[in-house]
Amino acid sequence: MKKLILILFVFLQAASVFAENNENGYSYIPLLNYEFVSVEGQKYHAPGAGLLLLHGDQSPKYSEVPDNFLIGILYKTAILDNPPLNYSNLYHDILFVFERRIKRHTIQVVLNSSSDEPVYGGLQTTQSHIGYGFEFLRKEKIDFTIGAFLLVRDYGIDLPNGGTWPVLPVPLVRFNFYSSIVHLSLNYFKFTLVAAPESQFRLAGSINLDSLNISDGHDTLFDCIFWYRFFKKDYKLGDFAGIGIGIKNSGPSGPDGLGARSFSLGEKNKIYDMNYYSVFGVLDVSFFKISGGYIFYSRERYDTNTMKETGKGFFVSTQVLYKF
């Protein structure tokens, strides 16, 4: 679930970057991305593409009434040079998301399948949810939304009739606080902090709080980046470009590699995922982003609880998106 939440976060970030729409109210944002990871025990290629359809202002002013929707679809494939024994070297990641905001109400529907046999491999290869949130607080520098969604997947909870329990209610929480000193946000299970958000020099960090998918300390995903933004907040084109250096525990996943790649295989009780710790640099100009760095620890996990250290190496990740 951590990967799903992080990809949703990236979709919402892309929507907010291109918040303004065309005269007819609709905008289209195609995404292209590629990631390459090379460590001593593995090489990993991950090309992907996606498309966002937006309607309405995705980041309305606090004095305005929200009325917008977002539809997004992402496909990404993963190719391993050295797969574990009896494991495929080819995996697929499919994500569909629909979100509708009407005044203080938010409705969201998501379908995600990450597997060597996506969707047709069974319930363990697919997870989906439908959720509702209500914005209890909306002021100039703070907003708070709370609700719940029903998450459908194979949790491994066996029933007396031999089936599995597939549904779990999960809280939906969104919180934002903004000032010239600090910007705090909680979006589902991802907590983000930006110190000095209006300065050209700023520190940004995030951590994933999804306790449903944490089996040990290595599953706690985080990143911390020290940024230099090229332009001040009042520049006519806005704060759209910068460079940074950082450290993270992450893995190849999503449009910009912000989560550990985790696949549930068509063969039940088999998974494959990978995460790594790295120091890296990043160049971000909104429509184009490239990052790369040195991996000082990496590991793979398969057969549910089997771990394998895969050594040191490097990664490169690129993303291109544009609004029509």
Confidence of residue 20 (pLDDT cuts 50, 70, 90): low
pLDDT digits (tens, 9 = 90+) for 166-223: 888 888 889 999 999 999 999 877 899 999 999 999 999 998 876 555 566 677 788 9
Q: How far apart are CA 49 and CA 301, in angstroms?
A: 26
Position 304 scores a pLDDT of 66
Residue 61 CB partners (closer than 8 Å, separation 6+): none
Largest CA distance in the chain: 64
- Per cent of the chain over pLDDT 70 is 85
Position 318 scores a pLDDT of 93
Kindly tell me the burial class for residue 304, based on how many C-beta atoms sit within 10 Å of its own C-beta (0-12, 13-18, 19 or more): exposed
Q: pTM of the entire structure?
A: 0.84
pLDDT digits (tens, 9 = 90+) for 289-303: 999 999 999 988 887
Q: What is the DSSP string of 167-194?
A: EEEEEEEEEEEE-SSEEEEEETTEEEEE
Q: What's the residue count for the chain?
A: 324
| H or E segment and range at residue 6 | helix 2-17
| Torsions phi, psi for 315 (to 5 deg) | -140, 155
Q: What is the DSSP letter of 258?
A: B
Tokens linked to 66 = 């929200």
pLDDT digits (tens, 9 = 90+) for 43-85: 989 999 999 999 888 777 777 778 888 999 989 888 999 888 8
Position 239 scores a pLDDT of 80
